Amino acid sequence: MSFFKYIEGGGIIGYIILGLSIIAMAYAISAALRTRRAQLVPEEQVKELRMQADAGDFQQALEDCQTPEGDTFLGRIAAAGIDRSLRVPLGGLEARSAMEDAGEDETARLFRAIDPIAVIASVAPLLGLLGTVQGMIGAFETVAGAATKSSTYYETLAYNISIALITTFQGLVVAIPAVMIHSWLRNRIDRAASDASRALEPLALSLERIGPSFPTVSQEDKPT
């Protein structure tokens, strides 16, 4: 049986499974490009943030993270901590928790982006099972409805049985790679989150060292 026969032999359910495989492939390619370390935790940005943390130039670091070039996974987490340290009276004491919260949000956002792959990995075998049930029902109807074994009896019976087997095959062919790709992408995101945490540790320590930052009061605002 040729490759195209495996596609055509599944009937309508087979074509649905084929469509899901194309969707899963598109999501996988898109996610693989978005979850590259160079995309999430650029080495150049890591070095720049470390230099700015050592110099105490937090305002410039915040502005750099808010530019289109600095709007990365790492940059958004760093910006949350710096912004909290500059705006809140407790200053850098809350910066680490702000970055942890932002890191969890950013990681969850990346996980949500690959959820469709997991859904397809779960749905494809179920569709294959549905095709199997459909094929077996057709096979039993053929047997029950044949008063005499005509020339088309065995052909119809074999066709229904082939649908039952081919759709199961198709569902597994889609589901197995989808599960593997989803697991690989999750591990990739987890590694990026760990790399970002290590890269931002010097910044967190520098922000904690600046201590509480209260707004300054001008001479005009001072009580007499």
Question: What confidence tier does 150 reach under pLDDT thresholds 50, 70, 90?
Answer: low
Pairwise CA distance, residues 205 & 45, whole Å: 17
Place of tokens 């982006």: 113
DSSP for residue 42: -
Of 126, 169, 125, the residue nearest 10 (C-alpha): 169
Q: What is the pLDDT of residues 23-39, one digit of tens each?
A: 999 999 999 999 998 88
Structure-token match 């890269």, residue found: 199
Q: How confident is the model at residue 208 (pLDDT cuts 50, 70, 90)?
A: confident
pTM for the full model?
Answer: 0.78
- Which distant-in-sequence residues (6+ apart) come within 8 Å of 117 by Cβ? 24, 27, 28, 31, 178, 181, 182, 185
On whether the CB atoms of residues 124 and 178 are closer than 8 A, the answer is yes
